Structure 1
Amino acid sequence: MEQLNRTLHGIKARGNAGLFIGGEWRAPGAGGALLDVVAPHNEELLLQYAEATIADVDLAVAAAREAFDRGPWPRLSPQERGAQLRKVAALLKARMPELAEAWTGQVGAVIGFTSKASYQVPGLFDYYAGLCDTYPFVDERTRSSGGKVRVVAEPAGVVAAITPWNAPLVLLCYKVAAGLAAGCTIVAKPSPETPIDAHILAECIAEAGLPAGVFNMLPAGREVGDYLIRHAGIDKVSFTGSTAAGKHIARTAADRLARVSLELGGKSAAVILEDAKIENVLPSLVPYSMPITGQVCFSLTRVLTPRSRRDEIVEAYTSAVGKVKVGDPFAADSGMGPLAMQRQRDRVEGYIEKGRAEGAKIAMGGGRPASLNRGFFIEPTVFVDVEPTMTIAREEIFGPVVSFIDYDGEEDMIAKANATDYGLHGAVYTGDPEHGYAVARQMRTGSVTVNGMIVDIEMPFGGFKQSGLGREGGIEGLETYIETKTIYFA
C-alpha cells in the first residue's frame, strides 16, 4: 500500500492535469464530471479526478492526427520505432511494484497475482520491439510474368484504444505496444474506474521521448467514449470489453467503414475427459475458473464432466476452492479478493438468484463471506445440475461463479461445449494429449489449452462468434494495426 499511496500522491500533485494530449499534461475542459476511484476491498475513496470532455477528445484526436499525418513516428524505420519501445519497456520495468499495487488497489486482484501478471506490460513492449526488427514490413515479390512487386505493411492510422477495468494496463498495452510498433498513433480511453495505470504508462512514454501526439490518454466514461468512436479523425477502433458494447462499436464504425478489432466476452468451457486424472486438473482449473474473482473474459466458467465422474470431480474441485482464502487483496496469503465495484457484486448476486430459480443447485458458496463486512466480497460459488439452456450457462457473469455440466459421450460433450454464443478460450483435460488436440479442433473457440490454462502475449488471442473480431498478441496482434499496400513496377 505504501507504493500505491505514493502513486496516488504523485497523481494528485498534478491537480486536475490528468489528461495527456500532444505530449503535455493538461487539465480537462470545462464541464467534465468529477469521478471517484474507490478501493473495492474497503470501499474507501482512493482518488477523485476530472473526466475528459468531448472538447478534449477533439484536441487529442487532432494531436494524434497531426503526429500521424505530418509527424516523424510513421516515417521512422521499424527498427527506430523498436528502439523507442524498448525505452518504454525499461521504464515500465522500473515501476513494477507501483503497477502491481495500482492494479490491486483499483480492482481488488490479489497482490500475489498482480505482482507476477504486471510483467506482461513491459513484456508486450519488448516483444513488439523485437517484431520491429524481424517483421517483413516490405516484402519483395515477383509476378509470374516477371514483374517486380513490393507488398508494404503500412500503419492503419490513428487508433482509438478503449479498454475495461479488470486488467487495465495489460489490456491497454496489448493495443498500444502493437499499434505503436506498426507506426500508428494512439488515443487511449481507459475505464473511468481505473485511470491510474494509464497515467503511469503516459508518464513512461513521455520520459522515453516519443514524439508529441503519438500517444494521448483520456480517462472518461461512456458518453465521451461514444464520441471518440464516431470521430472522423479516427481510422481504427480497438476495443476490449462487453459484447453488447462491441456490437455498438461495430455498428457505429460500419457507417464510415472504420477499421475495428474487438476482444469481447467469453463463456469458456473446461472439458474433462474420462481418462483425466483429477490431480492433474485442479492446479490450473481452480485458479483459472475464477481468476481475479472471476472477472476475466477467458475464465473457465463452464466445467464439462462425464456423468459417471461428476460427483468425484465436483467434490475434489469444491474442496480445493474451499481452501482459497478470500480476503484483503494486499495480504500475501489471500487467494481471492473482492469484486471490483458495488454494481458488479449486484450483477453477480442477480445471476446466482437466477441460477437457483432456474433449477440449478449450489454445491458451495452463494452468499457473502460472513467475516468480511466491508468491501465488495462474495463467496466462490459452484452450481451443479446445470443445463446448457440455463442463464448461468449462457451469459457471462464476470464473477466467481462456476457451472458444472454433465455429458454422456464425446458427441454430447462437443455439442455442449459449443452450445454458447461465445468462443474465446477453453481447456481439455486428458491423459492423451493427442486426443485432447482432436477435441480442441472441434471446439469453436479462439484458443484452447490441452491439460492446463495458457495465455501467452507472444501468441494470438481472440474469439470466434460473439467473442470478437481480430486477434491481439503475437504477430497477428501487430497485423491488426496494419494496412497492406501493393506497389507494382511496370
Structure 2
Amino acid sequence: MRTFDGIYVAGAWHPGRGERIEVASPATGEVLGYVSEATPEEVGQAVDAARAALHGEWASYSPADRAAALGRLADGLEARKNDFAELFSAEVGTPRRASTFVHIMSTLGVLRAYEKIGTDYPFDEVRPSMTGGEVHVRGLPVGVVGAILPWNAPLFTACLKLAPALAAGCTIVFKPAPDAPLAVSLFTEIIEQADLPPGVVNIVSGHAATGEALVTHPGVDKISFTGSTAVGAHIGALCAADIRRCSLELGGKSAAILLDDVVLDHTTIAGLVGGVMGNNGQVCVSRSRILAPRSRYDEVVAALGDAVGALTVGDPSDRATDVGPLINATARDRVEGYVAQAVDEGARIVVGGARPEGLDTGWYVAPTVLADVDNSMTIARDELFGPVVVVIPYEGDDDAVALANDSEYGLGGGVWSPDTLRANRIAVQLRVGAVSINSAPSLDCGAPFGGFKKSGLGREGGPEGLAEYLEFQSIIR
C-alpha cells in the first residue's frame, strides 16, 4: 500500500484539502494506494513554487550542472529499477517480465540522452548577420511548464517532458493520471536524492478539473500533454485563448505494411505481434493496422492468428504472462464494443474476440485478430488502446501507401521487407512522425518523436524536444 496524501510542492509533501483518490489494481481490483485530488488553490501553490525556483537557485545552474542533475536522476532510478518495475506491473497491468524494459529502461534512456544533449546543446550561438555584423541567438527557458501525463507509461512520458525541460532550465508541475499516479509520486524520492533545488519539480494529482486548473493558470508558460486527441484538442483551445505555448502528443492508428516479399519467420511475426500487444495494446504507437498483400493475405492472417492465439493472458505479476488486463472497466467495455461493431460491419474474428476464460476479476480482453477488414470500417479508423489487430488487404505498393496514409492520425508506421532499400522508399512516403523498418515500434531518445495531423503538435526527444522548452532571442549587433 502506497499513500501520497496532499501535494508535492517546493521539495516536500504537504497535506491536501482535496478528496482521496483510490488507485486500484486493474488485475484484481485490490486497492494499491491513494493520492489526493489537488484543488485549484493547491495547483496555484505548486505553480508559485515552480516560479520561485525558476528565478532562484535553479537559475544559477549552468547547462552542465543541469545535465549532471539528470544523470543523478538516472542513477537513482537505476538503483531502484526493480521496485518501480513491480509497481508499474501492479498499477498499469504491464506484464512483469516486460515492465522493466517498457517503463524503466525507456525512462533511463531518456534521462541519459538529455544528460548528453543538455551538455552539448548550443544555448548561445553567434551567427553572421545577413546585413553585416553578427547576430547573437540565445535559447532561454520558456519558464514554468505544466505537464499532464497519461496512465499507460506515466514515468516514461513524465521524463520525456522533465528531461528536456530541466535541460533547458525550466521548472515543472506534473499532473499524473488518476488511474496510475503512484509511481510518479514515488519518483519524488529519486528527485530528493538527486539534490534538485526545491520547487524545480512539483506534483498535483487529480482528475480533469485539476488538469484544467493547471492549463489555465496564468503562471504557467507552457503546457505539455500526452493523451487522447479529444482531450488534446480541448487543451490546445484553452492554451490558444491565452497564447500559451503547448505541445500535444496525441492518438494514433498506425499501420505496418508487409511488402509482398516479406519473410514470415519467427522474428517478423514476433515483431508484428509485439507491435500491437505490447503493454496490453495500450501504446499510442501500436501498429494496430497490418496491411498485407492480397496475394499473401491468407498466409499472413493464419500466421498472426497462430501467434496471437498462443499468447498467455493473465496476472501481470506472473512472469509467464504475455498480456495483462486493460486499465479499467471502461477501457475493456470500449474495446469489446469496437470488436462487436466490426463483426457487424463484416469483419471476421480469427482468434480472441471474447473475455478470456478463468479470469473473473480484472479488466481482461483476449488478444484478438480480425480479418476481412476494410480501411473504412470504424475499427480501422479509431484508436482502440487494446490488444486488437486488424489485417487489411492491399493491391500493390501504391495502394499500401495510400491505405496507410488514409487516416486522420499520423503518429507512426512500419514497413517489413528483406529489401531495405525498397522498404525505405515506402517509408519516406508515409505521412507519420516515425517509421520503423523490420522492427517493432521503437523510439530513439536522440531523435524527435511526435505526430502529423491529429496525432499532435510539437516533438519530444532529441535536440528538437529540448527546443520545445526554449524561447529564442536574437541580439543583432
Residues 448-489 of structure 1: CA deviation (Å, up to 9, x unaligned): 011112222222111000000111111111111111111122
Q: Which residue of 2 aligns with 1:28?
A: 16
Q: Which residue of 2 aligns with 1:411?
A: 398
Q: Which residue of 2 aligns with 1:230?
A: 216
Map 1:49-448; keep pairs closer than 5 Å. 49-68=35-54, 70-117=55-102, 118-279=104-265, 280-448=267-435
Deviation at 1:177, TM superposition (A): 1.0
Give the residue type in structure 2 aligned to 1:350. Answer: G
**Residues 74 and 155 in structure 1, CA contact (< 8 A), matched pair in contact too:** no
Alignment pair present for 1:465 and 2:465: no
**Aligned counterpart for 1:37 among listed residues 23, 47, 51:** 23
Local SS of the residue matching 2:140: strand
Q: TM-score, normalised by structure 1?
A: 0.95
The 1-side partners of 2:464 and 2:109 are apart by 16
Give the residue type in structure 2 aligned to 1:488. Answer: I
The 2-side partners of 1:33 and 1:470 are apart by 34
The 1-side partners of 2:355 and 2:374 are apart by 25
RMSD: 1.2
Deviation at 1:267, TM superposition (A): 0.3
Deviation at 1:225, TM superposition (A): 0.4
4+ long deviations beyond 4 Å: none
Deviation at 1:74, TM superposition (A): 3.3
The 2-side partners of 1:270 and 1:327 are apart by 27
The 2-side partners of 1:101 and 1:139 are apart by 45
The 2-side partners of 1:139 and 1:113 are apart by 43
Local SS of the residue matching 1:128: helix
Deviation at 1:144, TM superposition (A): 4.1
The 2-side partners of 1:49 and 1:418 are apart by 41
The 2-side partners of 1:345 and 1:300 are apart by 19
Alignment pair present for 1:485 and 2:473: yes
Local SS of the residue matching 1:159: strand
**Residues 289 and 392 in structure 2, CA contact (< 8 A), matched pair in contact too:** yes
For structure 1, list consecutive stretches of 5 or more residues without a partner in the other structure.
1-7
**Residues 462 and 470 in structure 1, CA contact (< 8 A), matched pair in contact too:** yes
**Residues 26 and 328 in structure 2, CA contact (< 8 A), matched pair in contact too:** yes
Q: Which residue of 2 aligns with 1:48?
A: 34
Q: TM-score, normalised by structure 2?
A: 0.97
The 2-side partners of 1:367 and 1:442 are apart by 37
The 2-side partners of 1:20 and 1:337 are apart by 31
Give the residue type in structure 2 aligned to 1:469. Answer: L
Deviation at 1:349, TM superposition (A): 0.9
Local SS of the residue matching 1:119: helix
Q: Which residue of 2 aligns with 1:4?
A: none
**Residues 179 and 327 in structure 2, CA contact (< 8 A), matched pair in contact too:** no
Local SS of the residue matching 1:204: helix
**Residues 113 and 446 in structure 2, CA contact (< 8 A), matched pair in contact too:** yes
Deviation at 1:33, TM superposition (A): 2.4
The 2-side partners of 1:327 and 1:227 are apart by 38
Give the residue type in structure 1 aligned to 2:428. Answer: R
**Residues 308 and 351 in structure 2, CA contact (< 8 A), matched pair in contact too:** no
Residues 34-66 of structure 1: CA deviation (Å, up to 9, x unaligned): 211111111111113321111110100111111
**Residues 117 and 462 in structure 2, CA contact (< 8 A), matched pair in contact too:** no
The 1-side partners of 2:403 and 2:83 are apart by 43
**Residues 290 and 300 in structure 1, CA contact (< 8 A), matched pair in contact too:** no
The 2-side partners of 1:27 and 1:193 are apart by 21
Deviation at 1:123, TM superposition (A): 2.6
